[in-house]
Chain A
Amino acid sequence: MSEQELKVIEMISRMSIDRASQVFSKTIKAGSKIEIVRFQRVDISEISEEVSKEDKEATGAIVQLSGEAPTKLLFIVNLKDALKLTDLFLRREIGETKAFDIYVESTIQEIGNILASSIANVFAKGFNVEMSPEPPVVLSDYSSSIFNTVLMDEDYLTDNKILLVETKFFVVRTAFDCMLFLMPSVEATKVLLERSFANNFS
C-alpha cells in the first residue's frame, strides 16, 4: 500500500472514530473523546510482545464487522474500570458496581456494539460500503490474550503485519484505562480505497 493510500485509510479511520466518539458520549451522557494514538502497519510479533509488557486483567468486546470491508474491532478495558464504566452506562453512582457480573458483561457488550455500529454507519453513508456488525463476543482474560485472539486471522495479515488503529479514551472527570482497536482486513483496505477514490474522497 502506498503512502497516499495509507493516508486515505487513516482519514476514513479518523472519521469513523470521531463518529464513534460522538455516539459514545451521547450513550454515557458524559463528554468523551476517542483519540487515535497509532495508525500503523505493525508486525504481529512486535505488537504482541509490546502488549504483553503492559499486561493486565481486562475485559474486552470483540466485534466482527462483516460485509464488503471485513474489519475487526476490539474494545478493551481493565477490570476495575469496567465496573466504573458500567456505573456510568447505567447512570449509577461511580463505585456502586463492586464486582464483575452480568451487568458489566452486558455493558461491555453493548459498548462494543454501539462503537461497531457507528463505524459501520460511516462506512455505509460515506463510502457506500455495506457492513453489519456481528454480535460482540465478550472475553474476560489477560489483555494480551484477548488482543492475541484478535490477531489470529490470516485474512488480516500481509507479510505478518496488521494494519492497527489504536485509540485512547478520555472521559470528562473520570479516568478510564480503555482502548479501542480497529483492524481492517486486507480486503477491507482494498474496498475502502476503491470506494473513496470513486467518491473523489482523496
Chain B
Amino acid sequence: MTNIDLYKDINKIVNVGIADIKYASTPMHLRTNLGSCVALIMYDKTMQLGGMVHVMLPKAFKNEAKVGKCADTAVPEIINNMTKKMHCKSKNLVAKIFGGAKMLASATNDIGKKNAEVVVKLVKEHGIRIHTIKTGGTKGYVVQLDTETGIVMCRIFGQEIEFF
C-alpha cells in the first residue's frame, strides 16, 4: 500500500469531505481529495487562517440542505463567513482553486469543468484575488493547505507534488 499522506503528523490534519466547509488556523492543515469536485481554498496571511470548501455541483437545487455542496451557495458562504464572522479583510484574502477533473472519459457532461468555471466566476464577482487555478485533467487530486504559510501542496495522481 502506498500512503499518500503529504504530512506525517496526522493530528494536524483536518479532512474536508464532499460538500463540507471547514476552517482552521495555524498550526492546522486543511486537506481534501478530489475527482470532478472542486476545492476552493481561501487564506488570510495576516490572520494565518484558512477555509476550504469541497464543491460537488455547479448549481444548487431548491432547498439544498448542504450549502457547501454547490458552487452558487458554497462560494458566498465561505467568503461571507471569513469576512463577516471571522473578520478577515477581503483585501487580505487569496483564493486557490483545484480539481474539476474529468474522471470518466465516457461522460458526455464534463461536470468537473463546469464546477471549476462557476467557482472561478463567483470568486471574481466577490472581488477576491485568485492566486492559483489548477483544474482539469483526468486524474484525482490531493490538496493540503498549511495554515501557517498559506502554501498548498497539490499532488495529481501519478504526478509529482507541486506547491502553490
Contacts and interface: CB of A to CB of B under 8 A. Distances in A.
B106 interface: yes
Contacts of A145: 33-35, 101, 103, 139-141, 157
Contact of A152 (B1, B36, B66): B36
Interface of B: 1-4, 15-20, 31-37, 54, 56, 61, 65-66, 68-69, 101, 103-104, 106, 111, 139-142, 157
Interface in A117-167: 137, 139-142, 144-146, 148-149, 151-152, 154, 159-160
A48 interface: yes
B142 A142 contact: yes
Chain B, interface SS category: loop
A46 interface: yes
A62 B157 CA distance: 18
Contacts, number: 98
Chain A, interface SS category: helix
Nearest to B37: A148
Interface size class of A (residues with CB under 8 A): 20 to 34
B19 A45 contact: yes
B33 A144 contact: yes
Given A44-B19, A145-B101, A160-B69, 8 more contacts: A45-B18, A45-B20, A48-B54, A53-B15, A80-B2, A145-B139, A145-B141, A146-B140
Interface of A: 44-50, 52-53, 55-57, 62, 78-80, 137, 139-142, 144-146, 148-149, 151-152, 154, 159-160, 177
